Amino acid sequence: MSYVQGFIVAVPKANKQAYLDSARAVAPIFQEYGALRMVETWSETIADGKVTDFKRAVLATEDEAIAFSWIEWPDKQTSDAAEAKMQTDPRMKNMMDMPFDAKRMVWGGFDPIFDTQS
């Protein structure tokens, strides 16, 4: 099975197009480094939880939407190698002006344990 990096972040609703433009700009770089798939989603229905929820996880305000994203890699080794390469890739410096507060981003790497497509 593949390896997945998942992300959630609060993005000002007014920055939706800038967020999408940023994702479109960085996608070819991720693919060049071996990403199989990159998916960006924009919150449509986010329930308020009793203990926690997506909004509280990233301290979202009323004027922010939640972006839920993932990148699928062939394996963790490819993901790790891509991350190392991106640290020195000059193209990535242009991508660092993100249209959201990166300090509130939640992300992690995941080893799939079940997939209906496998």
The DSSP H or E segment spanning 107 is strand 106-110
Q: Where are the domains of the chain?
A: 3-105
Identify the CATH number of the domain defined by range 3-105: 3.30.70.100
Helix or strand or coil: residue 113? coil
Q: What is the pLDDT of residue 115?
A: 85
Residue type, 87: Q
Q: What is the pLDDT of residue 58?
A: 94
Q: What is the pLDDT of residue 101?
A: 84
> Exposure of 71 by Cβ count < 10 A (0-12 exposed, 13-18 middle, 19+ buried)?
buried
- Determine the Cα–Cα distance for residues 94 and 90; give it in Å rounded to an integer: 8
Spans of the chain, pLDDT less than 50: none
- Determine the Cα–Cα distance for residues 10 and 46; give it in Å rounded to an integer: 12
